[in-house]
Chains A and B, each alone.
Chain A
Amino acid sequence: GQSLEQPSEVTAVEGAIVQINCTYQTSGFYGLSWYQQHDGGAPTFLSYNGLDGLEETGRFSSFLSRSDSYGYLLLQELQMKDSASYFCALKGNRDDKIIFGKGTRLHILP
């Protein structure tokens, strides 16, 4: 089957850097995505890694290592508005399903 593991909660300080890890298990793999969801809101797409390495989008970066079945989301210069849940999601190549991790709740302290 397919599954993803990510920490349930992470706490960091405003202005700091935080890394949210995601490990996955799947028999086939196309890529790893990251989504952000604020309380009461809808998930919004942040980034996608189809190949190994780092993808950078402003303050957010995402990394993938296919050999380690591992990825992470890196958030820099944390702002209070970054307080949200972050989901990693994978697309396997056996069907069109997107499987989401259970989400990491990011708490930011002033």
Chain B
Amino acid sequence: DTAVSQTPKYLVTQMGNDKSIKCEQNLGHDTMYWYKQDSKKFLKIMFSYNNKELIINETVPNRFSPKSPDKAHLNLHINSLELGDSAVYFCASSQDPGRYSSYNEQFFGPGTRLTVL
């Protein structure tokens, strides 16, 4: 059984287009994340949702909009795609890290490689 799944795995699109990436986890976790990994392998958090509520919103262009219809799903919509958006986007989930929790093993999805032409 796939724990954290993302679709699509690859996404090639033209500059200016709008695209979405979907993520689902079947682990029963309360918290989900979106990360961006650039060509230098730097893994940077973008957003975090806890039980459908946005709890982390890093300095990300407002062209990026996450949406969590329920705690098992966290989708990422990107408007007006730019060349610099090309990267691998990882969805992840963890079991209720909470604000005061110390243990936070994150389970990552397989990633979506986005290429903007």
On A, residues with C-beta under 8 Å from B are 30-31, 33, 35, 37, 41-45, 48, 50, 85, 87, 91, 93, 95-100, 102-103, 105
Contact = CB atoms under 8 A, between A and B. Distances in A.
17 contacts: A30-B101, A31-B102, A31-B104, A33-B104, A33-B106, A48-B103, A85-B41, A93-B100, A95-B99, A96-B31, A96-B48, A97-B58, A98-B45, A98-B106, A100-B43, A103-B42, A103-B43
B96 to A, nearest CB: 10
B99 to A, nearest CB: 6
B48 A97 contact: yes
Contacts of A48: 103-105
Residue of A30, A48, A96 ringed by the most chain B CB atoms within 10 A: A96
Interface stretch (B63-71, B75-83, B108-116): B108-116
B56 interface: yes
Contacts of A100: 42-45
B54 to A, nearest CB: 11
Which bucket holds chain B's interface residue count? 20 to 34
Given A96-B48, A96-B99, A45 B106 contact: yes
Contacts of A96: 31, 48, 50, 55-56, 97-99
Contacts, number: 68
A41 B43 CA distance: 13
A74 B108 CA distance: 23
Judged by DSSP, the binding face of A is: strand
Given A50-B103, A97-B45, A102-B40, 15 more contacts: A42-B109, A42-B111, A43-B43, A45-B106, A48-B103, A85-B41, A91-B97, A96-B31, A97-B58, A98-B33, A98-B45, A98-B106, A100-B43, A100-B45, A105-B41
A95 B97 CA distance: 10
Contacts of A93: 100
A100 to B, nearest CB: 4
